[in-house]
Structure 1
Amino acid sequence: MISKVVVDDFREVPKWLLSLLTKHLPFSLPVLRRLQFAAQIEGGRSPNTRILFAHDNQVATTAYSSSAIPSDPLPTHFAVTYLDLSRLPETQCWLYSTLEDSVPVHTDPQDSGTGPPDLPAVDQARCLEHVLALLQRVRAIELEESSSVREPPPRPRGEVLVGSLHEAVRLALERHGVCIRATGHVSLELGWDYYVKWLFRVGEVEWPDMLPAGMRWDKIRNRQDTALVRSRTTIPRQDSTLLLLPSMAIRLDDGTLVAWAFFGIDGSLTTLHCEEPYRGRGLAKALAHRLMREHLKDYGDDGWYHADVSIRNLQSQGVCRSLGGKPGWVVSWAFVDLKTVGQNS
């Protein structure tokens, strides 16, 4: 008999869930880091935060609690999402499924394809059921929150913006009939907005962080800084979010901002940028190394960090490679039509 999929719903991050996701590194990195950010950084979550955990109810026990460590054996297959619908235009949902563990890692950052999961068909189907159950719960939450707002919502109803969505999960959802659309932030020359997940291990590459004369280390400090940062990227970023994130910046002695980098709310190396007149001096590499050394501990001590780089961005790929990064798998940011995920059985 096939056991029922159970979806547990938490307002606070269960410590046991962090331990469980750590066992599935590096594939669980985006969701694990997002949960660590919510649990450990002041302002890292909002009143709208929901953590959903889908698993098989294999024995007649109560659902996992937010604080107690489960006494029953933890499931082999499960899915987890961090959800905050209030964050649009930024990412609202981060999702991980154990299906991702079985997909061969990438070796060619120019290849947007993904190999088939190395799992029996029955296990693949079960993993998809977990993901669908999560999205069905997200749909219920979205309907509940939309009905409680009298004014028109600031976002399209019935959709959720999922970040760092593993290509194997996206394809499985589409084969099931779930409608998914790209964000439209970049032109879709390749038919989809593909990013490669680059993986790094702390200490594999050391990079000197001595700055040239006339420059000094700093961080992103105010809305004047964030206005410049936002003007250099097509990805929607709110000032409040940028000021919350761990950052590293390089300034001239007169205070002029010339380069910057952040760890995102999912722990990814993000918005790494150097102004045009100062490129070619190794500043981007020095920034990434110093940011990692000083702020990776804000999330965890497992030694992993990651970056999402467009498969068209050859320059950023070169920076990742020079930092010792290795291409892992393909992801995307996409709107999922919650009306097409089916109904709870």
Structure 2
Amino acid sequence: MNPVQFFKHEDPSLILQYLSHHLPATIAIFHRIQSPQNAPERHACLFASFPPNSSLTELDLPVTVSFVDRSRHNEAQLAIFNSLCLQVKRPEDLSKESYQLLSDHLRQLLKAIKDIGDSFATADIKPLNYPFSSTLRSTALHEVIATVLVNNLGQSKVYHYLWDQWLFSTATVKDLILSRRLPEGYELGKVPPEQIDLVVSTSKVKRQATTLLSNPNSAILFTNKKTKQKEAVAWAHLTVDKSLSTLYVLPEHRGKGLAKMVAGSLIRDLCDGTLDSEKTQSDWCIAQVAADNVESQAVCKSLGAELDVRTATVGIELDSFVDDNWRI
């Protein structure tokens, strides 16, 4: 097997073709690469462990693909997919050889990301939000990838949070909510921009208001009897990788099925391709839910979602990782 090497892909076509063969396991990074928010000034990078002129039928296995947008200082910057996760769901099921291979891939990937970031120091044109944060923040990584990464990071690990990933069939969700009606006095709409601070304050995960305002959302509105203004009492957003997030219902409006309706309407629009101006369509949607979030787990089940894999978000002190004792 050839030594592990990462290549920067300016054209995403080959990587998207590869990822499309492994849906829905690759759904998050597949959507992340295609996000309309990947503006040129962000200088986002797309890496793969195979060169841009590769034949997909002749790839050395395992394969790693990664999307990196370090301009997002306080948001997820790093997405990784490795083909070992198609066969192995738990870290303890990795063979010694596979563990070593994945470790080699992750170390070389982080080195490539660090080298690209360091190269901007002497560049004439700097990326958005440069200089970058020294903490590289991952999206929800497959538990196998996250575990091998964390085991090797040593003091370069900043944080490590675990999640349950739920997988929705968008067509199933559409059918489930097709005949549902909201209680009297409620109507579907969008989150009013002036209420975005409320959405941010009720999210257990730190969110950026500017990003939420540019992400697709659905809200259930209720007319305030005092002000006569329509206010959002339930809402949900889809992230840049089209994952369900920020699902919340104000306490005084709970017990009426609003969470199922607001989440379902958003996933239905993803199914129909009516979600945004880019007409984004997908047969699948995912949600990262904390294991102790009983309410959100119940909503996922009620919409026909299946518990897929355990995932994790990881914070990496990138400036120190090369000098740190990578343990494998």
Per-residue CA distance 1:194-241 (angstroms, 9 max, x = gap): 11111111233412442222222111342x121111111132222221
User: Which structure is higher in helix share?
Assistant: 2
Find the partner of 1:117 among 93, 107, 111: 93
Work out the CA distance in 1 between the residues paired with 2:155 and 2:82: 19
Asked if 1 retains the 8 angstrom alpha-carbon contact of 2:215 and 2:237, the reply is: yes
Question: Residue 95 of structure 1 aligns with which residue?
Answer: 80
TM-score by length of 2: 0.83
Tell me whether 1:19 sits opposite 2:4 in the alignment. no
Match of 2:172 among 204, 208, 212: 204
1:257-280 CA distance string (max 9 Å, x none)? 111111111111100111111111
Residue 184 (structure 2) pairs with residue 213 (structure 1): yes
CA distance in 2, matches of 1:96, 1:71: 16
Please name the residue that 1:195 is paired with: 163
2:81 partner letter: Y
1:136 maps to: 111
Does the C-alpha gap of structure 1 residues 160 and 288 become closer, same or farther in structure 2, counting only changes over 3 Å? same
Q: Contact 1:247–1:291 (CA<8 Å) still a contact in 2?
A: yes
User: 1:136·1:342 contact (CA, 8 Å) conserved in 2?
Assistant: no
How large is the Cα RMSD of the aligned pairs? 2.7
Q: What's the CA shift for 1:292?
A: 0.8
Q: CA deviation at 1:316?
A: 0.8
Counterpart CA distance in 1 for 2:156 and 2:307 is 25
1:333 partnered with 2:309: no
Question: CA-to-partner distance for each residue in 1:124-173, whole Å, 9 max, x for gaps?
Answer: 43233222221111111222335667xx977643x311110222112212
**3-state SS of 2:181 partner:** coil
Q: How does 1:125-164 map to 2 (within 5 A)?
A: 125-145=100-120, 156-157=133-134, 159-164=135-140
**Any unmatched runs of 5+ in structure 1?**
56-62, 105-113, 184-191
- Aligned counterparts of 1:239 and 1:102: Cα–Cα separation in 2: 38
**Is the 2:78–2:137 Cα contact (8 Å) retained in structure 1?**
yes
Change (3 A) 1:292 1:313: same
Distance 1:301 1:144 in 2: 36
- Alignment coverage as a number of residue pairs: 305
Match of 2:7 in 1: 8
Question: What do the CA deviations read for 1:86-135 (whole angstroms, capped 9, x no partner)?
Answer: 1011111111111221223xxxxxxxxx45235x5434432332222211
Query: Contact 1:99 / 1:117 at 8 angstroms: preserved in 2?
Result: no
Identity of aligned residues (%): 25
- Structure 2's unaligned 5+ residue stretches are 224-228
What amino acid is the match of 2:206? P
Matched AA of 1:334: V
Q: Deviations over 1:294-343 (max 9, x none)?
A: 13435865511110001111111111111111111122222123332579
Amino acid at match of 1:262: H
Segment of structure 1 superposing worse, 284-293 or 69-78: 69-78
Question: How far off is 1:64 after superposition?
Answer: 0.8
Distance 1:46 1:250 in 2: 35
